[in-house]
Structure 1
Amino acid sequence: MYDRLNTIINSLALLGKNYTNAELVRKVLRYLPMNWDAKKTAIEEAKDLTTLRLDRLMGSLLSYEEEKWSSVPQTTKSIVFKTSASTDDESDDIQAEADEELSLLVKGLNELL
């Protein structure tokens, strides 16, 4: 996100529109989603927005996002008992491996999302 923001800022500067650091900080805070209101208020009250650098703000927001996602409990569905009608151990092992691979794939996709 920071790289994209820098690209936009640099493009605007090339077009002749320059923003001060304080203006950029205010713009970033203004466009945060509603679920970030608590962090936004904390930053506005604790720090002087005229002297706050954009990279420090982005670092603060990224660390908050990391804490936010690490505190969310990860719900995983596990299979405690698996029953099968077949008595062939080999087919059971293959099916168990396939189920395990599928569950790892689903878990990876959930973490990605």
Structure 2
Amino acid sequence: MYDRLNTIINSLALLGKNYTNAKLVRKILTFLPMNWEAKKITIEEAKDLTTLRLDQLTGSLLSYDEEKWSSVPQTTKSIAFKVSASTDNESDDIEAETDEELSLLVKGLNKLLYQKRFKRSVKP
């Protein structure tokens, strides 16, 4: 950030627009976003803006940014996987799959039977 800012300042100086250090510090503080308002007020009250150097300001802002992001708790998502015990007997796996498919089929049929668009001739 500091390098980019220096590049812009040097380019402006080459074009004939020179800024004093105090004016640059004031411009940077003016263009800080609203979520930096607390830090902006702290810098304005604690330090003399006429003697504050640009590198001191950027160092202070960078350290505040690092502190702000380090205090935010990092949320990690935990992922759970369904684990099944492997057996040598494949018939158990096939029976479990057919039982599951059969229960889904019965559940779907029950939904169809209880819907109003189908007339029931026999009560369930």
Counterpart of 2:69 in structure 1 is 69
> Percent sequence identity over matched residues?
79
Give me the TM-score of the superposition, normalised by structure 2: 0.66
Greater Rg, structure 1 or structure 2? Answer: 2
- Residue 11 of structure 2 is aligned to residue 14 of structure 1: no
Counterpart of 1:56 in structure 2 is 56
Unaligned ranges ≥5, structure 1: 89-113
Q: Within 5 Å, which residues of 2 pair with 1:1-113? A: 1-79=1-79, 81-84=80-83, 87=86
AA aligned to 1:42 is T
Q: Alignment RMSD, CA only?
A: 1.5
**CA distance in structure 2 between the partners assigned to 1:52 and 1:87 by the alignment:** 69
Structure number with the higher helix fraction is 1
**CA distance in structure 2 between the partners assigned to 1:86 and 1:77 by the alignment:** 25
**C-alpha displacement of 1:86:** 8.0
**C-alpha displacement of 1:87:** 3.4
Deviations 1:21-46 (A, max 9, x none): 00000000000000000000000000
